[in-house]
Structure 1
Amino acid sequence: MAFRVFKGCCLLKNVVNNYATSLRFNGLHVSVIHRDLMEFFDDKKNWAVEHVKVGRAWSKDELRIKSNEDLHKLWFVLLKERNMLLTMEEECKSQFELFPNPERIDKVELSMANLETVVRERNKAYYDLEIGENGERPGEMVTNLLGLNFFYRKFEHLIPQFLNRKWREKHTFNRVNGNIEKFQKFYREKIHNEKRKARNRDKNHVMHLMKRYPNLDMEAVKQQFPSVDIEKIKDYKKARGHFAP
């Protein structure tokens, strides 16, 4: 057994030496920096600071001009950055300290969402060009037991649908469970109230802006708040500032 282990170690050593030699002659650097669990933490110079200088999120136009290899590398960089930020956020909570610039998490997640959108666009264009179908997972609109419609994305299963008893028990589509008219009435009322409250919040916010900033750009306000009737609320007393409507 000792001879076998020694022989195996010698063979492994020769393989590693040959691989390293080939990489060295090819001009590649294979050394890796190992920082153990410190990879999940921010740089020490950013600890216990109130503000960290950061940039903005990656936009879709910037990501569209990059190659697939660059997008692949950038995805793992953003994934590592998000894990680090989430770890630092939990550590600051446990230590009762202020987490500097929490908007960094939102910027990283926005960048990842934009990157995924760009990759999906390329994938869809490739499949449309090659086979005439998009590469998205197929799906259909179905109805649950409460009579609510939603889009269900299909999955591949080893067992056919008519033989898969567990799947049929879990996915009860297009079968209404008893009298649901009362539930749907309350649900529609809830959705209506949420939309009405959102419109009122936008209207009050616009009136506050008009009162505080008399020289406000109304065209920009209309683009940002399309549900608010600007011409109507100009006559409101809450919207009147130091100007004549």
Structure 2
Amino acid sequence: MNYLMKVFIKSAATLSYRSHAAAAAIITKSNVHTSSVSLDLMEFFDSKKNWTETNIKVGRAWKLDELRIKSNTDLHKLWYVLLKERNMLYTMEHEYKEQMHSFPNPERIDKVQESMNNIETVVRERNIAYYKLETGETGERPVEDVVNMFGLPEKYEKSEYYLPKFMNTRWVRPYLQHGLINSIAVKKFYRLYKEKLHNQERRARNRDYNHVQHLLKRFPNMNMETLKAEYPNVDIEKAKRTKKARGHFDPKY
């Protein structure tokens, strides 16, 4: 009797173990998804039905508002889909150039690149929000305002160096001690550069002023509030009193 009980218990245990193993295998198999295997280079080329087309209908780029509501997993998948699409478009563009043909819809590359840039922007926003919540900092590389060798201000991202700044004689002597930044050549360049910017602003201001005078001449009954909002840097009252603003009628102002 004891022998029969031992055999029955052993058989029941073996059957239970096999059933649990089979169930685990089924669950594991159902949770694993793989894409179709492709061992050739056709993944880098567009579909054959588009090879002879001159106009391929495509959609627009992904917007920031659309990407912000997606999860990190979806963004990760979408990034690699766009990366594969971009590689395919670059390959097709090169092949069309080799064959001396016009590449259809080259703006597809710009749309893919814009979508990838928007994904990077969304991921960066989430990283900044996470680090601010956890540590109170942005988690990005510190940026400071410096003056480059031409005397122009620029943003400099700090990075690690094996040599401290005060020990770096190749940088301290020419830039600080000898005053390369404050040299006569750099000062002359910066003065001419500021003069060029001033002339550009002056010409733009004169263009707007002359354009406002012609608008007042052609449309004497136009809304002045709208005109001031459109050209805030132009003195509207002064433009009204000029001869260019007067047409072949009695002015109302």
Could you say which TM-score interval applies, normalised by the shorter chain?
0.5 to 0.7
The one of 177, 184, 202 aligned to 2:190: 184
Structure-1-length-normalised TM-score: 0.64
Could you tell me how far apart the structure 1 residues matched to 2:113 and 2:143 are? 26
Q: Which digits, 9 at most, give the CA deviation of each residue in 1:100-140, with x for residues without a partner? A: 11111111111111111111111111111110000221111
TM-fit CA distance, 1:31: 5.7
Q: Which digits, 9 at most, give the CA deviation of each residue in 1:89-110, with x for residues without a partner? A: 2222222111111111111111
In structure 2, what is the equivalent of residue 52 of structure 1?
56
Residues 51 and 192 from structure 1, CA distance in 2 versus in 1: closer, same or farther, beyond 3 angstroms? farther
**Percent identity between the two aligned chains:** 55
The one of 147, 156, 161 aligned to 2:160: 156
Does residue 119 of structure 2 align to residue 115 of structure 1?
yes
Could you tell me how far apart the structure 1 residues matched to 2:54 and 2:233 are? 38
In structure 2, what is the equivalent of residue 14 of structure 1?
none
Residues 104 and 198 from structure 1, CA distance in 2 versus in 1: closer, same or farther, beyond 3 angstroms? farther
Residues 194 and 227 from structure 1, CA distance in 2 versus in 1: closer, same or farther, beyond 3 angstroms? farther
Query: Which has more radius of gyration?
Result: 2
CA contact (8 A) 1:63 1:115 kept: yes
TM-fit CA distance, 1:150: 0.4
Structure-2-length-normalised TM-score: 0.62
CA contact (8 A) 2:55 2:104 kept: yes
TM-fit CA distance, 1:53: 1.0
Could you tell me how far apart the structure 1 residues matched to 2:55 and 2:206 are? 35
TM-fit CA distance, 1:187: 2.2
Alignment of 1:156-235 (within 5 A): 156-162=160-166, 168=171, 176=181, 178-179=183-184, 180-192=186-198
5+ residue gaps, structure 2:
1-23, 210-227, 246-253
Count how many residue pairs are aligned between Structure 1 and Structure 2.
Answer: 200
Does residue 57 of structure 2 align to residue 68 of structure 1?
no
Name the SS for the 2:154 alignment partner: strand
Residues 165 and 92 from structure 1, CA distance in 2 versus in 1: closer, same or farther, beyond 3 angstroms? farther
Structure 1 stretch 145-154 or stretch 89-98: which is displaced more?
89-98
CA contact (8 A) 2:208 2:231 kept: no
Structure 1 stretch 73-82 or stretch 36-45: which is displaced more?
36-45
Which AA in structure 2 matches 1:184?
Y
CA contact (8 A) 1:146 1:177 kept: no
CA contact (8 A) 2:44 2:91 kept: yes
Could you tell me how far apart the structure 2 residues matched to 1:91 and 1:120 are? 35
Q: CA RMSD in A?
A: 4.2
Residues 135 and 227 from structure 1, CA distance in 2 versus in 1: closer, same or farther, beyond 3 angstroms? farther
Does residue 29 of structure 2 align to residue 26 of structure 1?
yes
Does residue 76 of structure 2 align to residue 43 of structure 1?
no
5+ residue gaps, structure 1:
1-20, 204-221, 238-245
CA contact (8 A) 1:143 1:175 kept: no
